[in-house]
């Protein structure tokens, strides 16, 4: 949620900031802004717009923003409506300090009261603005202290990040007036930010500029992502990798409340929360800039849907050894004894990742015979779940940043569980908090609605289920070989589905004007429906709900309106409960529903019952969520486009939910 970019170097900052913000726009897109220091005077140029980055880009050209040191922001509103005044960056009273922020400052109200009492003037409704004023306050105090130490005058305090003012963690003993004191003196910006950070609670990634420091930007974070890199043209920091890929693929992360100072010459200095310098670990990422581009597709969502055969191929590849007829999971450090001791698995996740977890539950339980519970991470963290050292916790998060899932991981670890993170993003926060990481091979996913990452999560959980069954001697080598062999057919099947989407489009056309759509299925088909309904509602804003087909008689069937011919989408692929599903189709038909069935090629009976049939190739039931999900993704996209919606950036949403 929200994307920040900071750049200082030899190139023009505005172009780099705008390019970075465009590549981070999936994180939030209700307003955007940049602040750049004038090249020839200690003042900031600030441009902000309600709306998308493209609108900001026009304003930047109009206003001829120049300079090589700046910060930018694309917003997903938490405090205050999306408007120019609430768009970031936010400034202090002097107008010299600018702050871009991703996250929520939880103690902002108390800080704001104190700052108001001291005479600071606020111009937005955001929580972020307190940071600008607090940095101003701390900066002025440092400048005054330095001036006093030097006998007054227009002094420069050049202490390092551990320097003056490090004991001051409150604003109540402030003696600087809000707009004046220290404004002619220069202090240590990094130290002022370090003190400020010690006064903040909540989640934040911050990029902070000061017009008197034209060659540096201070960045910091707590619970919100920040990735840093340097290249010939300068130093850059951002909320996500896509903003960096054009310049470097060697990146660094900082831990909570660490500070980094970006310098014009490309140097980055790192300080821990006590102000001690350190050298961060660096990573080389294999994501490429092309992955951050549409590559000829009309939207990222379609591009990502079409990448799914490759994603599944990569996820499956190399897991099975023909010679030993066994699956390997080298990433799992669990000993045989630890594996044998696992008495429960708890999967925690949100949204689409939660749906992947529900499918994983079915498969793991049926093959490995270990009880699996799947919990929504936002609930898990406030319950008192039963977790101990014999519980294996699998935390699923495409982004690796979801605040609720991260908190669930912490809670599980405190209770002694072994936590496996299943994620897509190298070095993301979850990878640093879990003991074990399983990377899905989805590559960069930009469309807000998850598609290829979902399929990759399901494929990985499927393999994990088979592996656990193998390790517990519940499936033999030949059985695993047979199942893996069938799984290996999936990429070709997905290509086949993607090759002709006309039946999907015909069915979707019939729903464009609908008020509500119901999805029903049984077993893993029901879970496939949950995800199908989520896709439809989030990108087309058409109300959609999914139910277990056996449940509809217990209430939801009342929603079917014969006059409106309510669409009912049925996942009716070959399964042990196929006949029951056909009976459910009869029931909804009898009440006037318009039935769209996703069925297995060769199933003639379904054509007699349903109004529209989308055929997919035959596959064992356990793998069917992978094939059946693809028509549902395309179905949702087609309806969304017909309803005039932006499928990549649906309203009110953001790609990663870094706040609670």
Contact with ligand F6R (CB under 6 A) among 86, 402, 581, 594: 402
For residue 609, what are the CA distances in angstroms to 61, 277, 550, 583?
A: 59, 70, 18, 10
Give burial (CB, 10 Å; 0-12/13-18/19+) of 215: middle
Q: Is 299 helix (H, G, I), strand (E, B) or coil?
A: coil
Determine the Cα–Cα distance for residues 365 and 357; give it in Å rounded to an integer. 12
Closest CB to ligand F6R belongs to which residue? 351
The interface with ligand F6R within residues 316-355 (CB under 6 A) comprises: 350-353
For residue 356, what are the CA distances in angstroms to 313, 329, 361, 393?
A: 18, 19, 9, 15
Which one, 292 or 350, has the nearer CB to ligand F6R?
350
Rounded least distance, CB 383 to ligand F6R, Å: 19
Catalytic residue among 52, 96, 535, 655: 655
Determine the Cα–Cα distance for residues 137 and 131; give it in Å rounded to an integer. 10
Rounded least distance, CB 429 to ligand F6R, Å: 11
Which phi and psi (to 5°) does residue 644 adopt? 75, 25
Which one, 143 or 422, has the nearer CB to ligand F6R?
422
**Residues 187 and 227 sit within 8 Å (Cβ to Cβ):** no
Determine the Cα–Cα distance for residues 150 and 153; give it in Å rounded to an integer. 8
Catalytic residue among 2, 230, 306, 529: 2
The answer to whether residue 658 forms part of the interface with ligand F6R (CB under 6 A) is: no
Which one, 487 or 539, has the nearer CB to ligand F6R?
539
Rounded least distance, CB 428 to ligand F6R, Å: 9
**Residues 636 and 648 sit within 8 Å (Cβ to Cβ):** no
The answer to whether residue 566 forms part of the interface with ligand F6R (CB under 6 A) is: no
Which one, 137 or 452, has the nearer CB to ligand F6R?
452
The answer to whether residue 275 forms part of the interface with ligand F6R (CB under 6 A) is: no
Rounded least distance, CB 562 to ligand F6R, Å: 32
Determine the Cα–Cα distance for residues 50 and 48; give it in Å rounded to an integer. 7
Rounded least distance, CB 329 to ligand F6R, Å: 21
For residue 251, what are the CA distances in angstroms to 103, 278, 320, 426, 445?
A: 22, 15, 32, 10, 19
Q: Which stretch binds ligand F6R (CB under 6 A): 118-126, 190-198, 398-406, 569-577?
A: 398-406
Q: Any idea of the CA torsion for 199, 201, 206, 210, to the nearest 10 degrees?
A: -20
Q: Is 205 helix (H, G, I), strand (E, B) or coil?
A: strand
391-429 b/e with 16+ CB inside 10 Å = b? bbbbbbbbbbbbbbbbbbbebbbebebbbbbbbbbbbbb
For residue 412, what are the CA distances in angstroms to 206, 378, 417, 631?
A: 29, 13, 6, 36
Beta bridge partners, 597, equal 570, 613
Rounded least distance, CB 424 to ligand F6R, Å: 8
The answer to whether residue 450 forms part of the interface with ligand F6R (CB under 6 A) is: yes
The answer to whether residue 528 forms part of the interface with ligand F6R (CB under 6 A) is: no
The answer to whether residue 428 forms part of the interface with ligand F6R (CB under 6 A) is: no
Q: Which stretch binds ligand F6R (CB under 6 A): 163-171, 235-243, 399-407, 491-499?
A: 399-407
The answer to whether residue 540 forms part of the interface with ligand F6R (CB under 6 A) is: no
Which one, 484 or 530, has the nearer CB to ligand F6R?
530
The answer to whether residue 203 forms part of the interface with ligand F6R (CB under 6 A) is: no
Rounded least distance, CB 510 to ligand F6R, Å: 24
**Residues 520 and 552 sit within 8 Å (Cβ to Cβ):** yes
Contact with ligand F6R (CB under 6 A) among 187, 226, 544, 657: 657
Q: Which stretch binds ligand F6R (CB under 6 A): 142-150, 284-292, 313-321, 394-402?
A: 394-402
Q: Which stretch binds ligand F6R (CB under 6 A): 96-104, 112-120, 393-401, 628-636?
A: 393-401
Question: Does residue 2 have an active-site annotation?
Answer: yes
Those residues with Cβ within 8 angstroms of residue 351's Cβ, 6 or more apart along the chain or in another chain: 450, 534
The answer to whether residue 639 forms part of the interface with ligand F6R (CB under 6 A) is: no
The interface with ligand F6R within residues 371-390 (CB under 6 A) comprises: none
The answer to whether residue 656 forms part of the interface with ligand F6R (CB under 6 A) is: yes
Contact with ligand F6R (CB under 6 A) among 199, 399, 411, 443: 399
Q: Look up residue 245 and give its two tokens.
A: 């890929």
Rounded least distance, CB 111 to ligand F6R, Å: 29
Question: Does residue 441 have an active-site annotation?
Answer: no
Determine the Cα–Cα distance for residues 365 and 585; give it in Å rounded to an integer. 28
Q: Given the structure tokens 């055969």, which residue do they identify? A: 309
What number of chain residues touch ligand F6R (CB under 6 A)?
15
Rounded least distance, CB 530 to ligand F6R, Å: 11
Rounded least distance, CB 496 to ligand F6R, Å: 24
What is the secondary structure of 359-387 as a DSSP string? HHHHHHHHHH---EEEEEHHHHTTS----
Give helix 524-540 / helix 624-642 axis angle, nearest 10°: 20
Which one, 174 or 450, has the nearer CB to ligand F6R?
450
Q: Which stretch binds ligand F6R (CB under 6 A): 8-16, 20-28, 315-323, 396-404?
A: 396-404
What is the secondary structure of 473-515 as a DSSP string? TSS-HHHHHHHHHHHTTHHHHHHHHHH--HHHHHHHHTTTT-S
The answer to whether residue 405 forms part of the interface with ligand F6R (CB under 6 A) is: yes
Task: Give me the residues that bind ligand F6R (CB under 6 A), please.
Answer: 350-353, 397-399, 402, 405, 449-450, 534, 538, 656-657
> What residues act catalytically?
2, 655
């Amino acid at each position: 949620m929200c994307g920040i970019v900071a750049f200082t170097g030899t190139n023009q900052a505005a172009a780099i900031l705008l390019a970075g913000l465009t590549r981070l726009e999936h994180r939030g897109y209700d307003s955007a802004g940049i602040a750049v220091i004038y090249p020839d005077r200690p003042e900031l140029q600030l441009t902000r717009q309600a709306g998308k980055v493209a609108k900001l880009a026009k304003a930047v050209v109009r206003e001829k923003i120049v300079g090589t040191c700046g910060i930018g922001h694309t917003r997903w509103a938490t405090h205050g409506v999306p408007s120019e005044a609430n768009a970031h960056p936010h400034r202090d009273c002097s107008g010299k300090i600018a702050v871009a922020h991703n996250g929520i400052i939880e103690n902002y109200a108390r800080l704001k009261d104190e700052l108001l009492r001291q005479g600071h003037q606020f111009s937005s409704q955001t929580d972020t603005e307190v940071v600008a004023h607090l940095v101003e306050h701390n900066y002025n105090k440092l400048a005054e202290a330095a001036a006093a130490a030097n006998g007054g005058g227009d002094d420069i305090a050049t202490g390092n990040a551990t320097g003056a003012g490090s004991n001051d963690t409150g604003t109540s003993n402030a003696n600087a007036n809000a707009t004046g004191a220290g404004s002619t003196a220069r202090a240590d910006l990094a130290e002022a930010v370090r003190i400020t950070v010690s006064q903040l609670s909540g989640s934040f990634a911050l990029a902070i500029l000061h017009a008197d420091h034209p060659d540096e930007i201070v960045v910091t974070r707590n619970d919100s992502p920040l990735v840093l890199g340097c290249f010939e043209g300068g130093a850059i920091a951002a909320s996500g990798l896509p903003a960096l890929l054009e310049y470097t693929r060697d990146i660094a992360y900082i831990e909570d409340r660490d500070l980094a100072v970006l310098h014009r010459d490309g140097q980055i200095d790192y300080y821990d929360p006590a102000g001690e310098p350190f050298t961060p670990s660096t990573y080389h990422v294999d994501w490429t800039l092309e992955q951050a581009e549409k590559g000829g597709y009309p939207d990222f969502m379609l591009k990502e849907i079409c990448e799914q055969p490759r994603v599944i191929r990569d996820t499956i590849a190399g897991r099975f050894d023909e010679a030993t007829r066994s699956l390997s999971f080298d990433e799992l450090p669990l000993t045989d004894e630890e594996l044998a001791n696992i008495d429960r698995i708890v999967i925690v996740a949100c949204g689409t990742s939660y749906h992947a977890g529900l499918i994983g539950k079915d498969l793991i339980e049926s093959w490995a015979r270990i009880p699996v519970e799947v919990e929504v991470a936002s609930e898990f963290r406030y319950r008192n779940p039963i977790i101990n050292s014999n519980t294996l916790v699998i935390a699923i998060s495409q982004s690796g940043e979801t605040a609720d899932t991260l908190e669930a991981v912490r809670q599980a670890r405190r209770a002694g569980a072994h936590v496996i993170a299943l994620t897509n993003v190298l070095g993301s926060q979850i990878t640093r908090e879990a003991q074990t990481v399983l990377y899905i091979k989805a590559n960069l996913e930009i469309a807000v609605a998850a598609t290829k990452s979902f399929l990759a999560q399901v494929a990985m959980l499927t393999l994990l289920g088979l592996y656990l069954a193998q390790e517990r001697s519940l499936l033999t080598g030949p059985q695993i070989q047979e199942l893996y062999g069938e799984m290996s057919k999936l990429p070709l099947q997905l290509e086949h589905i993607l090759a002709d989407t006309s039946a999907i489009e015909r069915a979707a056309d019939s729903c464009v004007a609908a008020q509500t759509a119901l999805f029903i299925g049984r077993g893993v088909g029901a879970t496939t429906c949950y995800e199908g309904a989520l896709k439809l509602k989030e990108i087309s804003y058409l109300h959609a709900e999914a139910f277990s087909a056996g449940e509809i008689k217990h209430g939801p069937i009342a929603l079917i309106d014969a006059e409106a011919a309510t669409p009912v989408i049925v996942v009716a692929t070959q399964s042990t409960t196929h006949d029951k599903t056909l009976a459910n189709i009869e029931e909804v038909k009898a009440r006037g529903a318009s039935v769209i069935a996703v069925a297995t090629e060769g199933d003639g009976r379904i054509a007699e019952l349903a109004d529209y049939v989308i055929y997919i190739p035959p596959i064992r039931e356990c793998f069917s969520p992978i094939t059946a999900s693809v028509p549902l993704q395309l179905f949702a996209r087609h309806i969304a486009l017909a309803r005039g919606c932006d499928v990549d950036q649906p309203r009110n949403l953001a790609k990663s939910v870094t706040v609670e």
